[in-house]
């Protein structure tokens, strides 16, 4: 029984008890009637606690399955890099088999508790991770119907709408999610991603030019990094957006990438940032520094990017030497 229904039930119970009091003779013990209401309320509370315990167990099953599948994918990618690994079709079948009992558990829980908004929200996330976008959308929409002030539902639906051709509604829902929970960094980052990717639609929707849309996205990314200053993904997204700004703000970009470098968790992330720092320095006309920066890039995964960037640095340096300036707008 959800909170609203439980409150209504208790209210009706007290009304019925009041009628009993009015109809009772002088021997009626009013405290006994009051205790009946207290006992019913306690029973409802215990029932709700049991439901929430069951819900948390369901989330644990989901997390366990997701963690195991993520491990399979990472291991298979590592094997593929060495010329081994299983075909994607075989891995996908194995993943679907692992997810099936979790899907069934969600369906059984929701069938028994159809008004549990958080379960609908979680099941939508599970379906989305399982590539069932339509099913995810249906669950998120039901969650929002049950809990119209749920910011996560707005955020999830915003992404879904933007990706399925309803960009305007997506922008509207991202805005609503942030209004409801302005301290959530993820919402700013997701909104910025949508504006950047669907910038043409954003230009029409907000009546802005492309640079103004990029500036809006940059501001949202900045808020995400302010709210979660230690998250590499947010820091790198913020830094990367500087490439879209004209004229290119080399100093600001280099500062942003330097900050991202301090947050990198792996050697590959760190060397990827070195590549970006070299590019930012190149675009700022600091060619020797850019070339020196690339000396720190040794990971074979980045070898092609490193080689191409070195060539680009050489070309730009020659061109700049011939014109005594850095080629404008050439990124």
Cβ atoms within 10 Å of 111's Cβ, excluding its own: 8
The pair of structure tokens assigned to 298 is 């040794």
pLDDT tens digit string along 139-194? 999 999 999 999 999 999 999 999 999 999 999 999 999 999 999 999 999 999 99
Contacts (Cβ under 8 Å, ≥6 apart) of 243:
253, 331
pLDDT tens column, 30-82: 555 455 545 545 554 656 899 999 999 999 999 999 999 999 999 998 888 78
CB neighbours of 294 closer than 8 A, spacing ≥ 6?
274, 275, 278, 306, 309, 310
pTM of the model: 0.81
Place of tokens 């749920």: 150
Between CA 225 and CA 142 the distance in angstroms is 31
Angle (CA) 274 277 282, round 5°: 125
């Amino acid at each position: 029984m959800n909170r609203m229904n439980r409150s209504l039930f208790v209210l009706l119970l007290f009304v019925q008890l009041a009628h009993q009091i009015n109809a009772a003779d002088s021997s009626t013990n009013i405290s006994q009637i009051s205790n009946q209401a207290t006992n019913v309320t306690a029973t409802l509370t215990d029932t709700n606690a049991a439901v929430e315990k069951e819900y948390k167990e369901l989330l644990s099953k989901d997390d366990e399955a997701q963690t195991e599948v993520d491990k399979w994918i990472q291991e298979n990618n590592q094997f593929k890099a060495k010329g081994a690994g299983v075909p994607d079709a075989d891995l996908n079948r194995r993943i679907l088999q692992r997810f099936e009992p979790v899907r069934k558990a969600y369906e059984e829980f929701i069938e028994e508790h159809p008004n549990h908004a958080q379960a609908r929200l979680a099941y939508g996330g599970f379906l989305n991770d399982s590539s069932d976008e339509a099913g995810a959308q249906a669950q998120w929409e039901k969650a929002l119907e049950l809990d119209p002030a749920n910011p996560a539902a707005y955020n999830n639906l915003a992404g879904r709408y933007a990706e399925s051709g309803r960009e305007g509604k997506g922008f509207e829902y991202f805005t609503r999610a942030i209004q409801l929970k302005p301290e959530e960094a993820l919402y700013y980052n997701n909104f910025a991603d949508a504006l950047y990717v669907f910038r043409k639609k954003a230009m029409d929707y907000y009546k802005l030019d492309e640079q103004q849309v990029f500036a809006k996205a940059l501001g949202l990314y900045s808020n995400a990094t302010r709210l979660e200053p230690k998250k590499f993904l947010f820091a790198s997204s913020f830094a990367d957006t500087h490439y879209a700004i004209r004229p290119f703000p080399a100093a600001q970009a280099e500062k942003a990438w330097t900050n991202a470098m301090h947050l990198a968790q792996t050697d590959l992330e760190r060397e990827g940032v070195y590549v970006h720092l070299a590019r930012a320095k190149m675009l700022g006309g600091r060619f020797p520094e850019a070339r020196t920066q690339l000396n720190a890039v040794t990971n074979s995964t980045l070898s092609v990017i490193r080689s191409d960037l070195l060539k680009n640095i050489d070309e730009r340096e020659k061109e700049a030497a011939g014109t005594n300036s850095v080629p404008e707008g050439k990124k």
